[in-house]
């Protein structure tokens, strides 16, 4: 199973079920993605906790007018097919109301940050 797909689907489903937070199995990649989402204002808080001897990533969700901030997600790069964007190919998602998340040589960045840093990379997913 693709752990990044699993993570973003869990965030979306928790928001649709009006949950306050989501617990995910911890990994450095998921933590970097969650920190990117926090920086862009899609999640409230990200923290690493220990549950039953295993590290867990606790993500608090944001709601706007009782609607979840993350309503829809779309995985771009999959295990079977990797998709890479050059810096000039990175465009806004949903006319600026969405977010593109990339894995770049400078770490996990949003589309706006990647354009600012002038780097391309593997397009992980987009959400709105």
The model's confidence at residue 1, banded by pLDDT at 50, 70 and 90, is confident
- Residue with structure tokens 């993350």? 70
pLDDT for 68: 94
- Residue with structure tokens 């990175």? 90
- CA nearest neighbour of 70 among 19, 121, 116: 19
Residue 22 pLDDT > 90: yes
Kindly state the tokens that stand for 40: 């862009």
Apex CA 78: angle with CA 73 and CA 80, to 5°? 155
Which alpha helices (H) appear in 1-128, and where do they start and end?
3-16, 28-39, 111-117
pLDDT in tens, 7-16: 999 999 999 9
The full set of domains in the chain, from first to last, is 3-127 (3.30.1490.10)
Q: What is the mean pLDDT of the chain?
A: 95
Positive or negative: CA dihedral 116, 117, 121, 123:
negative
pLDDT in tens, 29-48: 999 999 999 999 999 999 99
pLDDT in tens, 34-84: 999 999 999 999 999 999 999 999 999 999 999 999 999 999 999 999 999
Beta bridge partners of residue 91, listed in sequence order: none
């Amino acid at each position: 199973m693709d752990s990044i797909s699993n993570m973003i689907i869990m965030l979306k489903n928790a928001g649709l079920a009006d949950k306050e937070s989501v617990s995910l199995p911890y990994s450095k990649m998921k933590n970097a993605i969650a920190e990117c989402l926090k920086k862009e204002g899609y999640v409230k808080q990200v923290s690493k906790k220990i549950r039953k001897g295993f590290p867990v990533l606790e993500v608090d969700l944001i709601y706007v007018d009782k609607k979840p901030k993350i309503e829809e997600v779309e995985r771009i790069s999959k295990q079977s097919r990797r998709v890479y964007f050059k810096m000039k190919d990175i465009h806004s998602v949903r006319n600026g109301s969405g977010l593109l998340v990339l894995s770049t040589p400078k770490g996990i960045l949003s589309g706006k940050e990647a354009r600012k840093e002038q780097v391309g990379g593997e397009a992980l997913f987009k959400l709105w």
